[in-house]
Every structure is written in C-alpha cells, then in structure tokens.
Amino acid sequence: MPEAGATRWVSLHVETLNDSARERAIEVLFNGGAGAVQEVGSALLTHMPEGNALELACRALAAVGATVGRTELGEVDWAARWRTRVGVQRVGRIAVAPPWLSDEIADAEFQILIEPAMAFGTGEHETTRGVLALMQSLVRRGSFVADLGSGSGVLAIAAAKLGAGRVVAIEMDPDAIGNAEENITRNGVADRVTLVEGDAAALLPLVAPVSLVLANIISSVVMELSPIMRRALPSGGKAVISGILVGEREQLLTSMGGDGWTLESELREGDWWSSVIARG
C-alpha cells in the first residue's frame, strides 16, 4: 500500500506535428511542473507527478495538436534511480563523472565532477558530448567564453579547465542555478566562472565582446540568438552550437548563413547535430 501523501509519477511520451507545436509543447510541460524535458528524435520525454497539474498539461498538449502517451510509474526514488543510470563519459581529453565515480576518471587530463540533477548536463546526452568534443580545439588560454543555457555548468567548467581565463555561464532556469553553483565550486573553477541567471538575449550584449560562444539549446533559440551571438564576437569569432536535430540542419544553416555565419566543422551522434560556426 502506498503511504498517505506519497507522490506517484507518470512518464509522458509526447509527439508533435511540427517544430512550432514542439516548442509550445515544451513550454506547456515546463509550465506544468516538468523538471526536465528530453528530446529524442521527434518525441519529447519527461516525468510529472500525478495530480491536477498533470491533467491540465495533458489537455493543453492536446490543444496544440500533440499526442501524449502515459506510463504509470508509481512511487519513484529519483535519487537512487539516477545514481544507477549516470556513468562516466569520456570525450577527447575530458572525462565527466558523478562524484561517487571520481576514481574512474583519475587518469583523464581534464576531470569534471557533476552532481546529477535529473541526469541533466552530466555528458550523458549526445548534444553535451558534441559541444565537449568540438570546443576542445577552440578554447585558448586566457580567452573569454560565454556559455548560453549553461544548465549544470558542465560546459562552462570544461571551458575553464581547458584554459579560459573567464567564463560567463548564463542560465534562465532558477531550478538549475543551485546545481550549477555547486558543480562550479566542486570543480575548483569558481574564480574563473561567473554564473548569471537571466535571458541570454538580454545578458550576452552586456558581457560582450567574448572570444567564444557555447550554445547547447534548441534550434529555434539558436536562430533567435544568432545576430546577438554574432555581435558579441570579433570578426572570425566562433560559436559551438548544439541541441539541434539532424533533420533541422539545413534550415538552421540557411538561417545562420543569412546572418553572416559560415560552417567550419560538424559532427553527428544519433539524431543530434553539433557544429562550429564562424562569424564573417
């Protein structure tokens, strides 16, 4: 028998018809109380507690044309579950691990310890690994890096470990800030990484000019920030972008090309595409 007042959880699998509907569905999920939303191909995956907020979210999703699949999970000990699922990630010279697996990355040139917050930003996701791979040849000693949508802070921490003299990590989700602060301190880079809560569109111009921009966010936001990122960089300055589905590549390159960007390098893992673009 479940304890009185115990929280029971539901897994949601959401399919949308187009990019616009997907963005509205993501907004609905976050507004409904989802702590994180994972994009896997055309699907959105998340978990929400049973209750009125869940039912309202499902109705709102239906209103934007989304198809919602529900799986009852019952009571879940999330802390225990994430501990069993989060492992070591090695990307070039960088290794990322949760604190309890620190011994397993002792041989890495650059070691990053991330306390999982619903397994986000630990290097488990293809988009995070894509940025970690591409940025390693771009961070120069003493450079100034801006990390947009920093989440757990893993990319900002990596930039500092690679030699950046100053990193500004911008994150608008207040729930991510505490975790990022802890991770920055745990990795000994608090003297070089400044975490700022707010909208990257408003904050990036205030800290510009920067040497390199990292943006692991959804494609629509990358396109929205494109002219702002360009103005924040010197001529020839570069950005690493990710969070983009392979099927969105052509649309994004057309849009970014119109803003004066050129594609320098790219990689694909699964359904996800990451790239380095240069300011003309």
202-245 confidence digits (pLDDT tens): 999 999 999 999 999 988 899 999 999 999 999 999 999 999 98
Which domains does the chain show, CATH number per domain? 9-76 (3.30.70.600), 121-279 (3.40.50.150)
- Secondary structure string (H, E, C) spanning 206-258: HHCCCCEEEEECCHHHHHHHHHHHHHHCCCCCEEEEEEEEHHHHHHHHHHHHH
For 25-62, write each residue's pLDDT tens digit: 998 998 888 877 877 767 888 888 888 889 999 999 99
Q: How confident is the model at residue 19 (pLDDT cuts 50, 70, 90)?
A: confident
For 73-96, write each residue's pLDDT tens digit: 887 665 555 555 577 889 999 999
Give pTM, 2 decimals. 0.74
Q: 149: which DSSP letter?
A: S
The phi-psi region of residue 62 (left if phi > 0; otherwise alpha if psi is between -120 and 50; otherwise beta) is: alpha
Residue 122: closest CA among 85, 176, 83, 86: 86
Q: How confident is the model at residue 148 (pLDDT cuts 50, 70, 90)?
A: very high
- E strands present in the chain: 9-15, 38-40, 43-49, 67-74, 89-91, 94-97, 110-113, 144-148, 166-171, 193-197, 212-216, 238-245, 261-269, 272-279
